[in-house]
Structure 1
Amino acid sequence: MQAELVLDARNGTGESPVWHAAEQALYWVDIPARALNRWHASEGHAQWHADEMIACIAPRADLPGAWIAGMESGIFSLQPQADGTLAATSLAPVAHAAPAMRFNDGRCDRQGRFWAGTMLLDMAAGARVGRLYSYRKGSDNATLQLDDLIVPNGLAFSPDGRTMYLSDSHPSVQAIWAFDYDTETGTPSNRRLFVDMKPLPGRPDGAAIDVDGCYWICGNDAGLVHRFTPDGRLDRSLEVPVKKPAMCAFGGPALDTLFVTSIRPGGIDLADQPLAGGVFALRPGVQGVPEPTFGS
């Protein structure tokens, strides 16, 4: 299956793609550029910048055009402005476990609660200071749900919302876990190993869920997107023309296009992957699940 180039975005770290069904547009972030991006098939590419790095986003149900986001110092509401900036309102500041941390991967559960993990900027240090938080509409604080993580990633929820998935991308971990998820209270339990990625190509990065309940996750460093069945079996692997796919999301009018963002590493020769940092589209032959909005 041939991956189609959607945009030669040259993102430093393209992350958190979200299909906005009402606009028929794809949104995503470039973390080091502190940028929110939008792509529409006929309207092209637009970009807005914030004062902090933006790591993960979800659309707000109660405020048209606005987004909830995990950033450097906490969880914010972002509103794109006509001058290319983002008006940011702090919703829940976070006291990180160590200096020089930021949020990383995140999304909403099926009930509209926002979930996001934190990590040390110096990923190579391997420090287990990463945490996973949840945030409910109207709250002044984010709730600590899990700790002892290095690079929390791969957050996703099954179509019925009763299973939560989480990965840790660090080379020393490379694991994906599944949890039972109480949809009433927003509480995960019964943590168990879903997939050990160490024997497989690529480190587990950002993920998506399809209508069959299968879990799609980017194999960072391997140029692959893997699909795992609900029982943890590797079903297929699709190639993208870059080494570091970062996160995937279903979109398009029928939710049957798998969009993939990627990373453009600095300081190395990219002659073998000139499209690194681009956004790609795959046609996997399955449909995705609509992305929940915050506070829905």
Structure 2
Amino acid sequence: MTIECVASGPFSLTESPVWDSDTGTLYWCDIPACAVHALVPQTGARREWGFPGPTGSMGLCRSGRLVVATGLEVVLFDADSGETTPVATLEAAAGSRANDGKVGPDGAFWVGTMVERQDPDDPQGALFRVGADGSVEKRLDGLRTTNGLAWSADGMTMYHADSRGQWIDRWDFDPASGNMKNRTRIAEPTEAQGRPDGGATDIDGNYWSAGVSAGALNCWSPQGELLSRIEVPVPRPTMPCFGGPDLKTLYFTSIRANLDAAALAAAPDSGGVFAMPAPVAGAPVSRFDD
């Protein structure tokens, strides 16, 4: 399988790749650089925008804008004008920032918080649902490093992971109300499989998870069976997403920060964004109801 680095930066910690099928654009964040990047693969055109705080995640809006989590703020961003519109502020413990986030099939932005220097015996991260009206609902707490949000193509199943808790959960989801119920732990990945970082779903209903500690992408069934494992050319992949005209290109982001000299020599494109052919099409992503 050919895996190509499509954007090499240099970046520090890229995350939250999102494919905009309307414009043929791939977006992603570089969290510590407080930046959002865009690439049009067909032309190679690139753009970059800066934000005031660590930029953990983003999603697409119905209006064509982006919804972005920066620091503990959720904002709307117009890439053409550069205009930023505040939406909500997340209440979190000292030393926290927003981490993984995605737009759900209910049209809300779901985003988690994490404490940068966390006490492993006192997990203080949480998962929030942010509405376009600025409403903020805390849906889960007691999380270490909230991650892995993704929904099935029919919007009826939500996946969520904790990278430090090392589990992946499945929820029944109501796309009309945003209610979640019947939490089921489907996997507790080992270090060899990789701590579960960002996730995405394919059209067949399976869940793709970046094994950030094992240099691999793992494909899990809804029941938690490990269906396939793809070793990638960087030691710390962070999140997959499906893109391309037919949603059959699998993109993924990665980490460069804190890798030692030997790791960087073996994987000099670490921190970059990669692409490969996908064995199955991805589930289309939802858009924020702005």
| TM-score band, normalised by shorter chain | over 0.9
Q: 1:292 — aligned with what?
A: 286
Alignment of 1:209-248 (within 5 A): 209-248=201-240
How far residue 290 of structure 1 moved from its aligned partner, in angstroms, is 1.4
Q: Is the 8 A contact 1:102 1:118 kept in 2?
A: yes
Aligned 1:111-260 pairs, distance under 5 A: 111-123=106-118, 125=120, 127-138=122-133, 140-170=134-164, 173-198=165-190, 200-260=192-252
Alpha carbon RMSD of aligned pairs, Å? 1.6
Alignment of 1:14-93 (within 5 A): 14-41=14-41, 42-62=43-63, 64=64, 66-80=65-79, 86-93=82-89
TM-superposed deviation, 1:242? 0.5
Assess, with a 3 A threshold, how the Cα gap between structure 1 residues 196 and 267 changes in structure 2: closer, same or farther: closer
The AA in structure 1 aligned to 2:36 is L
Q: Which runs of 5+ in 1 are unaligned?
A: none
- Partner of 1:132: helix, strand, or coil? strand
Deviations 1:149-174, CA, capped at 9 Å, x for gaps: 0100001111111111110001xx21
Mapped to 2, the partners of 1:152 and 1:10 lie a distance apart of: 26
Using the TM superposition, give the Cα deviation of residue 267 of structure 1 relative to its aligned residue in structure 2, in angstroms.
Answer: 6.2
Q: Distance in 2 between matches of 1:32 and 1:20?
A: 23
1:224 Cα offset (Å): 0.4
Q: What is the TM-score normalised by the length of structure 2?
A: 0.94
Percent identity among equivalent residues?
A: 35
Q: Distance in 1 between matches of 2:119 and 2:25?
A: 35
Number of aligned positions between the proteins: 287
Alignment TM-score, normalising by the size of structure 1: 0.92
CA distance in 2, matches of 1:267, 1:202: 16
> Structure 2: which 5+ residue stretches go unaligned?
none
Q: Cα–Cα, structure 1 residues 160 and 141, in superposed 2: closer, same or farther, change >3 Å?
A: same
Cα distance in 2, alignment partners of residues 225 and 124 from structure 1: 28
Return the alpha-carbon distance in structure 1 between the equivalents of residues 152 and 259 of structure 2: 38
Task: Report the AA paired with residue 53 of structure 1.
Answer: P
Structure 1 residues 122 and 87 mapped into 2: Cα distance closer, same or farther (>3 Å)? farther
Does the CA-based 8 Å contact 1:155-1:166 persist in structure 2?
A: yes
